[in-house]
Structure formats: structure tokens, C-alpha cells
Amino acid sequence: MVALSIEPDPRLIITRLFEANVRAYQGDVEVNKEIASSLKDPKSGIDFWWLNNGVTIVADKAQYQNGRMTVENPLIVNGLQTSHVLHSSYQDTPDNHRHVLVRILQEKDAAKRDQIIKATNRQTAIKASSLRATEEVHRRIEDYFLAHGTYYDRRKNFYKNEGKPADRIISMDKLAQAAMSVLLRRPDDARARPTTLIKNDADYIKLFPPAAKQFPLDLYRVLAELLVAIEAYFKSVTPKLEKRYTTNLKFYVLMVAVWNLLGTKRPPAKAVAKIDLTAIPPALIEETAKWVKAAFDAKGATDQVAKDKGFTAYLDAEWKKP
């Protein structure tokens, strides 16, 4: 029998307890950095275990008596990363005491234990944008879009599950890509690194500023509607263009379309927000898309071109005010 106290010696990490875990310690990855940060810099009024999924232990037998938990043949089946970060943190700051949630499941049957191990380690990957979904700015954008027949999918697949038309659904990632392309003139980053736009705090606050500096909600609607129109154009082209043109060029076309509408390559957010969607010349999207496509073809029309800042610079140099 192996007995585990609820207060083991924090100077030691018993590796055999983790033999049933599906992954080894992943080191200095983002999740572990966040765990370490919440240990090092706790938020006032928020306990560590509120922010952490904790540790799951499967054991042959578990008994609590006289303030002490005794566990027979324990295996930590989920929580290896947390355990290692806690251990590392204790070495640096041994007086930094924290609470951690521990679940102890008593089960001897090997088949059932395997089911528990699989279930506790099967997690849906969470995109960075999903972690921003509850912020006020995204709730406001969603409400504003709804009033105009557009669906801001801040909670992934919510409107798809509601049966709303796919061409009227705008994801948070796509809106961030659109804002990055127009406001920061970085369609190459929007194409090449779409997930980092929301993950990177420095970029994120430029696209979705805090309350005191928030952009007009019309800005996001203009970007969304223009992008919908651009995607619709690419789908309507006859003969059909290869899909790589839509994938690679839509954010470039969006950027240049705004240039053409406002007559400047550095349009301020307030000016973009004031674009009258009902007064856009019918041929503007088509003419802009053809111009960008011709430039893309001239540079080789590859994914690498679309992901390169040099293509943005090339469009900047070639563009002439209408």
C-alpha cells in the first residue's frame, strides 16, 4: 500500500504517481506560464484554486479520518502540469501557500480506471478568442450586429446551431483580422497569424480598446459588411477562381477598398466608422479585387506572398488615389 497524505512534503515530487497521466510535463508552455503567473502574482480576493482545474487522483481506496486522508495506490491521472508548476513555485517561494482542488476517485476496477483516465484527459481545445468572449465590448458588438441582421459569433457555433445563414455570421477571429488589416495596415499578419491577433494583448487592445477609448460600434459593422461583400464577390466570379485567391486576398481587398472609399491609405477609425454602406459604388468591390489580384499575380500568387509584409508594402507603393 502507498499512503498519500493531503499535506505531502512539497520539496519532493514523486514521479511514479504520474505514470497514468497521458502527457509528460510540457515545460515552459503557455498554460504552465499562466499557472505560474497566478501563483506568483495572485489577484486580490481570488484564490488560486478558482483559476485552476486542480488534480484528479484515482485510488484503490481512500479514507478520511482525524483530519488526514489516506489513499491506497494513488495515481494522478490529470493535473501533472499543475503539480510540476506548484513544485517549481515552492522551490522559489516556500512560504507562498496556496489551495489546490483535489478530486480523489476510489476505483479498483482496471477498465473503469482506464475510462476515468481517458475522460479526464479529453478536453476540447479552447481558442484564444473564446477566452475573450465574455468581455463587454464583444457583448456590445453582438447586440449591435443583431439589430442590423448580422450575427457576431463570439461564442463559437452559437448562431450556426441556431440555424442562422452562414454568410451573415462573423466570427470574433475574422472581425479581428478585418480590423488588423484596415486599422493597422497588416493584412499579411491577418492572413499568416490569425490566432495571434487576439492572443497578443498589445495587438488586441489596438483592435478592441478598453471602455474609455472604445471605437464606435459602426466601425466593426462597416468592416464586417465589407468583408461579407468581398467574400460574396469571390464566390460569384465566373469562371470560378481558385480558393487560394479568396483565402489569400480577402483582407488585402478589404484594406484597399477602404483606401478607395476614403481616399487615404491611413484611414482613422472614426472615418471608417462613418462609411455609408448604402452609398458604396456597386463596382467598387469588383474593381478593387481585380486590382489586388493583378498585383498578387504579378508577385507570384503564392501563399508565401500573401503572408509577407512585402506584398502589403508593394500595394502601398502602387496604389493611387481614385
CB of 73 closer than 8 Å to CB of 17? no
Residues in contact with 80: Cβ distance below 8 Å, sequence separation at least 6, in sequence order: 18, 21, 23, 24, 25
pLDDT of 162 over the 70 cut: yes
Cell numbers found for residue 132: 475573450
**Over the chain, what is the mean pLDDT?**
88
Pairing state of beta strands 75-78 and 61-65?
Answer: unpaired
CA-CA distance, 187 to 180, in Å (whole number)? 7
Q: Which of 125, 5, 130 is nearest to 69 (CA)?
A: 5
C-alpha span between 300 and 23 (Å, rounded): 43
Higher-confidence residue of 318 and 73: namely: 318
- Provide the pLDDT confidence category of residue 11 given band limits of 50, 70 and 90: low
Note the pTM of the prediction, 2 decimals.
0.72
Which pLDDT band, with edges at 50, 70 and 90, does 22 fall under? low
In the three-class reduction of DSSP (H, G, I as helix; E, B as strand; rest coil), residue 56 is classed as strand
Q: Between the CA of residue 272 and those of 121, 142, 190, 207, 243, what are the distances in Å?
A: 46, 19, 18, 13, 28
